[in-house]
Amino acid sequence: MIIIIGATGTIGSTLLERLVDLGVPARALSREPEKLRDQIGEKGRSIIEVASADASDPESLRRAFTGGSQLFLAMSNSPRQIELETSIIQIAAEAGIKHIVKISSPAFEKSSPVAVAGWHQQIEKTLRDSGLTHTVLRPYAFMQNLLNLAPTIATQDVFFGAMGDSPCNFIDCRDIADVAAEVLTNREVSGQIYTLTGSEIFSYPQIAGKLSALLDRPIRYINMEPQALNRNLIEHGHMPPWIANHVVEIQAMATVVLERPTDTVKRLLGREPRTLDAFLKEYVENLQ
Ligand SMILES: NC(=O)c1ccc[n+]([C@@H]2O[C@H](COP(=O)([O-])OP(=O)(O)OC[C@H]3O[C@@H](n4cnc5c(N)ncnc54)[C@H](OP(=O)(O)O)[C@@H]3O)[C@@H](O)[C@H]2O)c1
């Protein structure tokens, strides 16, 4: 039985759809199981079992992991991420789970620290020390993050950042979910570390150009100093400071570490990754 943590999340919700399409049974966990039952619908409920679990409640994890052989783990970022994922890994090992697929993040150079990436590195070490077979997926920025730019695009025809004109990797979360389904169902490709990207890199000024063409009006990218972006995200975006710091750290990192696409999605899935152009076209209604 495959256990899914993060089933209501961006990657996990798509992974469940893939498993349903493949007819692969799984047990999906949530702190809000009723919401999850509604999310997966009648067809999903015929294949996916839903259970209640909270990573901060070890007893709920023990119950939910009973009979599990594999665990998919995509935990939303929080200052408790190391503590919660460490507990999940320990309880999974005790429960007899044999293989963990973890959503991590790119491993950055020491010269450009990104705190959340450091958390993932620590959790990856716990996985290595556990002795369990583990597959680590390290995706770059989700294309779906670009939907967060919609409010200022809609009201001011602009979006803000601190990446200058540095080109970055983006990946569609649906490709991450497809890779997760593959590594959960094909033993030959499990037990590795995979860095996941789309097939091209793009800068924010280039994305502004794409949006201008799609929306048929000029959309401008406004580059800010990192500290000014941080203040803007907290004061106008109402972000908790630790999330604002994360966004700024990631963008500052992109200006110093050159990003390059990998061919991992194509190697694992036998097809090209989804493109940014296709993503923006599909979600244009959400961006105006
Ligand atoms: N955004 C990016 O560009 C990016 C890039 C690289 C890596 N990542 C990594 O991707 C991961 C997030 O993936 P995602 O976006 O698919 O996730 P997400 O949408 O943020 O949601 C993840 C899930 O976390 C679950 N969760 C949160 N707290 C929990 C708890 N105490 N107990 C049990 N479940 C809990 C939620 O389940 P319920 O609410 O249903 O309980 C939810 O389904 C992060 O670790 C992030 O660092 C993100």
Report the pLDDT value the prediction gives residue 163, as an integer from 0 to 100.
Answer: 94
Question: What confidence tens digit (pLDDT) does each residue in 208-225 have?
Answer: 999 999 999 999 999 999
- For helices 81-94 and 115-130, what crossing angle results, to 10°? 10
Does the structure show a pLDDT above 70 at 194? yes
CB burial of 158-196 (b: ≥16 within 10 Å; e: otherwise) equals ebbbbbeebbbbbbbbbbbbbbbbbbbeeeeebeeebbb
CA of 40 to the centre of ligand 1 (A): 17
Report the pLDDT value the prediction gives residue 107, as an integer from 0 to 100.
Answer: 83
Superfamily grouping for domain 2-139: NAD(P)-binding Rossmann-like Domain (3.40.50.720)
Candidates 50, 52, 73, 75: which one to mutate for ligand 1, based on the most atoms within 8 Å of Cβ?
Answer: 75
**Three-class secondary structure of residue 262 per DSSP:** coil
Report the pLDDT value the prediction gives residue 257, as an integer from 0 to 100.
Answer: 87
Report the pLDDT value the prediction gives residue 233, as an integer from 0 to 100.
Answer: 94
CATH architecture of 140-172+197-260+274-288: Alpha-Beta Complex (3.90)
How does the average pLDDT of the chain come out, rounded? 96
Distance of CA 116 to the CA centre of its chain: 12
Candidates 62, 76, 171: which one to mutate for ligand 1, based on the most atoms within 8 Å of Cβ?
Answer: 76
List the structure tokens of 227. 């500290």
- Domain boundaries for CATH 3.40.50.720 within the chain: 2-139
Return the bridge partners of 71, or none. 3, 100
**Three-class secondary structure of residue 102 per DSSP:** strand
- The minimum-distance atom of ligand 1 relative to the CA of 142 is 3
- Domain boundaries for CATH 3.90.25.10 within the chain: 140-172+197-260+274-288
Mean pLDDT check: name the lowest of 112-126, 143-157, 255-269: 112-126
Mean pLDDT check: name the lowest of 110-124, 233-247, 249-263: 110-124
Does residue 186's CB lie within 6 angstroms of at least one atom of ligand 1? no
